[in-house]
Structure 1
Amino acid sequence: MRHVTRPDGMPPVNGYSHVVAAAGTLVAVSGQVPMDADGQVVGEDDAAAQVRQVFVNLRTALDAAGASLADVIKLTVFLTDLADLPAFRAARDEFLDPERLPACSLVRVAGLVHPAFRVEIDALAVTS
């Protein structure tokens, strides 16, 4: 896997790589939401708790496919409130290696499938 944080001629980045190249088996993880294994919403009014739960769910899903968070090449992040961006960044830095960050897209959305959800994240990973 090769991370190119900022190729010549590209704008500065803040917590992602512009390009990640990898070869191997592609693992696609559907959008994960802040629900625990019992189907309960985690941190209804707590963005940090919600984002941490989403990363726990991503890790669990990747593990089931024989992958890990270190194998993630792309995240797509959906936030209902951009004020939650610092909570996302803190959790991202807790779960991912800040020296090998994946490519990332961030989308502000009007709402998610459950009104209490503040965040949803899907992932692409590559294993060898």
Structure 2
Amino acid sequence: MRHYVRPEGSPPVNGYSHAVAFTGTTVAVSGQVPLDGSGRLVGENDAEAQVRQVFANLATALEAAGSGLAHVVKLTVYLTDLDDLPAFRRVRDELQDPDHPPASSLVQVAGLVSPDFRVEVDALAVAPDAPD
């Protein structure tokens, strides 16, 4: 992967790359929500707990496909409240290499599939260890 965090002439960034180039097997991960393995909501009214669960779910899906959080090339983040952005950034910044962040888009939405969900994240990644 090659990360173009801030190409000359690009505006400043906060935890993402303007572009990421890669080769290999592409993994598309559906939007992950703050439900645990039993389908229970994690972090009711707690944005940071919900973001942590979403990233845990992303990691689980990526691992199943022979990838991992370190191989994410693009995140799309859906927040119902932009006041949750600092919580999202805290968790994201703990889990990604600050020198090689993925490309990213952030969208504020009126709601998600459950009114209790504050965040949903989908991802594109490369799978260096994709199962046959």
Structure 1 position 15, deviation (Å):
1.0
TM-score, normalised relative to structure 1: 0.98
| Aligned residue in 2 for 1:55 | 55
SS at match of 1:11: coil
User: Which residue is 1:14 aligned to?
Assistant: 14
Distance apart, 1:20 and its partner CA: 0.3
2:3 maps to 3
Q: Distance in 1 between matches of 2:10 and 2:95?
A: 26
| Greater Cα offset, 93-102 or 13-22 | 93-102
- 1:21-32 to structure 2, matched below 5 A, reads 21-32=21-32
Identity of aligned pairs, percent? 70
- Structure 1, gaps ≥5 residues long: none
Gap runs ≥5 in structure 2? none
User: Deviation at 1:127?
Assistant: 2.3
Residues 44-73 of structure 1, C-alpha deviations (whole Å, 9 max, x = no match): 110000000000000000000010101100
Q: Distance in 1 between matches of 2:6 and 2:100?
A: 12
TM-score after normalising by structure 2: 0.95
Take 2:93 and 2:12, find their aligned partners in 1: how far apart are those partners? 18
Paired residue secondary structure (1:78):
strand
Give the superposition deviation at 1:126: 0.9
Structure 1 segments (4+ residues) deviating >4 Å: none
The answer to whether the 8 A contact 2:65-2:127 is kept is no
